[in-house]
Amino acid sequence: MTLEELIALYRRRAQDTEEPHLCDDDTVRLYLREAQDEACRRGQLLLQSTGAMCQVQFQAGAELIQLDRRVLKVLRSYVDGSQVRVVPVDVMDLNHPNWQFDTLRDKPRVLISGLTTDALHLWPIPSQNGEVRLSVQRLPMKPLLVDSDKPEIREEAHPALVEWVMHRVYGTQDVDLYDPNRSEIALRKFEAEFGKKSSLRNENWVRDGAGALPAPLA
């Protein structure tokens, strides 16, 4: 479905078809952009293994590689064709104390998370130029802006994005819009399709090595 079709679907479901609309088109577009990002964060919907986001070059002597900010989680990683693990910094510190001061120069055998935002440290520091290949879970490549744009998630999930719009519209503190019951019902329908929200703190915990560390409290 296009952005235009999703706006029209919202208007039919919310019975907001008469002008002036209770919720204008620009606000509905904003909520639909939110909806796709929320869906991807909750449902882990978009995966990628090729392209610039997944092919990161490094130079000899580089300490880290930068990740695209749309990357939510690294699923697999390779250095010059050899598979390597992404290891949380706490585990690296435990197994290789003072690794950051190691003077060894070689082909990186480990990528270390949890030390620099949106980056992975290379260990050992590379002795020559190379490439990291990644498989990642990510956010959409571009936001929904013009009426002809389509959500990047699968087509059958597009109508459920409208539930987020309705949740946000009916949650607005406005005398003509505020309806907490309808807002909650729409949120439950959205969650049924895409899952419940995890806090950003928990997302960062997963991103930085969920399997090896205790979960945060909230």
pLDDT in tens, 105-134: 999 999 999 999 999 999 999 999 999 999
Has residue 13 got a pLDDT over 90? yes
Residue 185: pLDDT over 90: yes
What's the pLDDT at 209?
Answer: 64
Q: Which amino acid is at 165?
A: V
**pLDDT at 211 > cutoff 70:** no
The answer, yes or no, to whether residue 184 has pLDDT greater than 60, is yes
pLDDT above 60 for 212: no
pLDDT at 98 over 70: yes
Neighbours of 24 (CB within 10 A): 12
Q: 25-43 vs 3-14: helix axis angle to the nearest 10?
A: 100
Please report the sign of the dihedral spanned by the C-alpha atoms of residue 162, residue 166, residue 167, residue 168: positive
| Mean pLDDT on 138-166 | 97
Per-residue pLDDT, 210: 47
For the cut 50, the answer to whether the pLDDT of residue 216 exceeds it is no
* Tens-place pLDDT, residues 48-97: 999 999 999 999 999 999 999 999 999 999 999 999 999 999 999 999 99
Choose between 55 and 212: higher pLDDT: 55
CB 163: neighbour CB atoms within 10 A?
22
Question: What is the 3-state composition of the chain as percent helix, strand, coil, each rounded to the nearest 5?
Answer: 40, 20, 40
